């Protein structure tokens, strides 16, 4: 079965950097795009970024463009979210999500990793 396991969350100071990772298994990783979605505890969902199956194209929400980078390593079945210039408003649970098909839907979700940006 599909498994997505996020790691790398934690507490970081404003202006700092953090790299989230997501280890994928149970499906042909090289055939699917991957998303990151975040959720402030108690609030709604916010889409963050998407990378195509082969890494050829990446897409970002305006709120993170220029600060976050989504990457994938198809040899290791992993996807990463490099987060720079972090702000308090980036505090959230970050979910790694497998695409159903190009933009069709967000099919399988990891359990999430919490990022807290605070001094």
**What three-state secondary structure class fits 17?**
coil
| Residue 109: CB minimum distance to another protein, A | 4
Spatial separation of the C-alpha atoms in residues 86 and 89, rounded to whole Å: 8
Q: Does 111 bind another protein (CB under 8 A)?
A: yes
Are the beta carbons of 18 and 86 closer than 8 angstroms? yes
Q: Does 69 bind another protein (CB under 8 A)?
A: no
Q: Does 27 bind another protein (CB under 8 A)?
A: no
Residue 97 CB: number of other CB atoms within 10 A? 22
Specify the stretch interacting with another protein by CB under 8 A; choose among 15-23, 25-33, 74-82, 102-110: 102-110
Are the beta carbons of 109 and 4 closer than 8 angstroms? yes
Residue 43 phi, psi (nearest 5): -120, -170
Specify the stretch interacting with another protein by CB under 8 A; choose among 7-15, 19-27, 80-88, 100-108: 100-108
* Of the candidate residues 2, 11, 88, 100, the single one contacting another protein (CB under 8 A): 100
| Contacts with another protein, residue ranges (CB under 8 A) | 35, 37, 44-47, 50, 59-62, 95, 100, 103-112
């Amino acid at each position: 079965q599909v498994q997505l396991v996020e790691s790398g969350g934690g507490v970081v100071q404003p202006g700092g950097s953090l790299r989230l990772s997501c280890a994928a298994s149970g499906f042909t990783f090289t055939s699917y795009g991957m998303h990151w979605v975040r959720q402030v505890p108690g609030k709604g969902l916010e889409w963050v970024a998407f990378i195509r199956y082969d890494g050829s194209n990446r897409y970002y929400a305006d709120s993170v463009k220029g600060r976050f980078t989504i990457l994938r390593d198809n040899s290791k079945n992993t996807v990463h979210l490099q987060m720079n210039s972090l702000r308090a408003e980036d505090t959230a649970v970050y979910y790694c999500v497998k695409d159903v098909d190009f933009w069709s839907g967000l099919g399988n979700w990891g359990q999430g990793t919490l990022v807290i940006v605070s001094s």
